[in-house]
Structure 1
Amino acid sequence: MKSRLTALERREMSAEQQRVLDAILSGPRGNLDGPFLAWIHSPELADRAQALGAFCRYHTRMPLRLSELAILVTAAWWQSQAEWQIHEPIARDAGVGEAVIEALRLGQEPEFHDETDRLVYRIGRSLYETRRVDGALYAQARDQFGESALVELIGIYGYYALVAMTLNVFEVRRETTERLPFAEQD
């Protein structure tokens, strides 16, 4: 991956940066891809964000398919190239359908065959469009997921919005010849 930030070599890193790098590399991710390429410039942020990210990605009550759907909703909303490139194949493998993936990429409302998927989508769109979730949608989500899982779903949306902003601002990109999922803005 590359970014507009100065590349850091291990020998140039502070002891704190090296400690955080080692923690990230020895964790479930095993690499410095995505926002960590930027966050390592602020080891305290990287340390805290990687712990939150590990929880949001690997340990919530949400099934992987629903978590990855929420991540794609976020990546599409923010038009985050690297976030989409990283999570689109994971979402596909977790069972998010091709038609849903393509509709999200195009900024269209997907045609869902599963009402739980539609609910995850509606929550994300409500958050991004109105910065709120109205009472009826909240009650439906609470009844479907339970309060603890709903709190975690909102955490997934919040964490991956932070990821998307980081990737966009610092132009973190995968080094690939594949076409970018979203048109670049000048």
Structure 2
Amino acid sequence: MTDRRYPPDVDPQSQCRLPLPRRNELDGEAQRVYDSLSNPSGASLRGLRGPGGIHLHSPQLAQHTRALNRYLRYEAGLGGRLRELAILVTARELDSQFEWAAHEEEARRQGLSSDIIETIRQRCDTAALDEADAVVIELGREMFSARKVSSATFARAVALFGRQKLVDLVALMGNYAATAAMLTAFDMQLDPDTEPPLPIQDRE
């Protein structure tokens, strides 16, 4: 257990720089989003204490984001394993501790092995991995860290996934990159008793 404390500008209830949204301050559609996020058996992994709660401070954004998330996560045909692989790669390359912590267990439930998860976490070589797993990891590393996708990686990706699936896959990763930006800007904190899951060196 860690004795890490929240920064002084972080609300201890929301675990970020914004307070938890209030249901009675939202309109009808936004209230439905609120209710869904508050439902313990709902699709959200973190409920109101996460990106969903941040989005509700802009109700229209929350509604549109929810629709996009639903398509990318459940309707695009990516499948749970590929989806969580792509999310973990995105979280790792953007050093998003909260996003990784929110998805690691779900990734295991969807079939990602400890070896693959550690390859992503430690940024290990992908040569021994299944071709599709290796391509998704290399694609994410090039997009977010190198800021350029090589012709070779793109050719492998489109050959494996086809145009539409690749577009949806990149959109999913871009969507979680946007989520990581939200989590960074509003300083979303891990639970006080949760150790940071990613080995990240402080930047000068």
Superposed pair shares fold, TM > 0.5 = yes
Give matches, 1:1-20, under 5 Å.
2-11=15-24, 13-15=25-27, 17-20=30-33
2:57 counterpart SS class: coil
Gaps of 5+ in 2: 1-13
Structure 2 residue corresponding to 1:66, chosen from 82, 91, 96:
82
Corresponding position of 1:132: 148
SS at match of 2:17: coil
- Equivalent positions of 1:102-113 (< 5 A) are 102-110=118-126, 112-113=128-129
Q: Could you tell me whether the CA contact under 8 Å between 2:135 and 2:157 is conserved in 1?
A: yes
The farther-off stretch of 98-107 and 60-69 is: 98-107
Residue 60 of structure 2 corresponds to: 44
The structure carrying a bigger helix percent of its residues is: 1
Higher mean C-alpha deviation, range 89-98 or range 143-152: 89-98
Q: Is the Cα–Cα contact under 8 Å of residues 94 and 144 in structure 2 kept in the other structure?
A: no
The alpha carbon displacement at 1:117 in A equals 0.2
- Of 57, 72, 75, the match for 2:91: 75
2:106 corresponding residue in structure 1: 90
Indicate the percent of aligned positions where both proteins have the same amino acid.
Answer: 35
Q: Structure 2 vs 1, CA of residues 52 and 33 (structure 1 numbering), >3 Å: closer, same or farther?
A: farther
Q: Secondary structure at the match of 2:136?
A: helix
What is the Cα deviation at residue 111 of structure 1?
A: 5.6
In structure 1, the partner of 2:5 is none
Shift of 1:24: 4.9
CA RMSD in angstroms comes to 2.4
Structure 2 residue aligned with 1:29: 44
> How far did residue 164 of structure 1 move?
0.8
Task: Please list the CA deviations of residues 38-63 of structure 1 after superposition, one character each: whole Å capped at 9, or x if unmatched.
Answer: 11100111111111112222222223
In structure 1, C-alpha distance between the alignment counterparts of 2:134 and 2:78, rounded to whole Å: 14
Out of 115-124 and 51-60, give the one that drifted further. 51-60
Q: Give the number of aligned pairs.
A: 185
| Residue type of the alignment partner of 2:121 | R
Q: What is the CA distance between 1:97 and its match in structure 2?
A: 1.8
Residues 142 and 89 of structure 1: is their aligned pair in 2 closer, same or farther, counting only changes over 3 Å? same
Q: Is the CA contact (8 Å cut-off) linking 1:99 and 1:110 kept in structure 2?
A: no
Question: Structure 1 unaligned runs (5+)?
Answer: none
What secondary structure, in the 3-state scheme, does the structure 2 residue paired with 1:146 have?
helix
Identify the structure with bigger relative contact order (alpha carbons < 8 Å, sequence gap 6+).
1
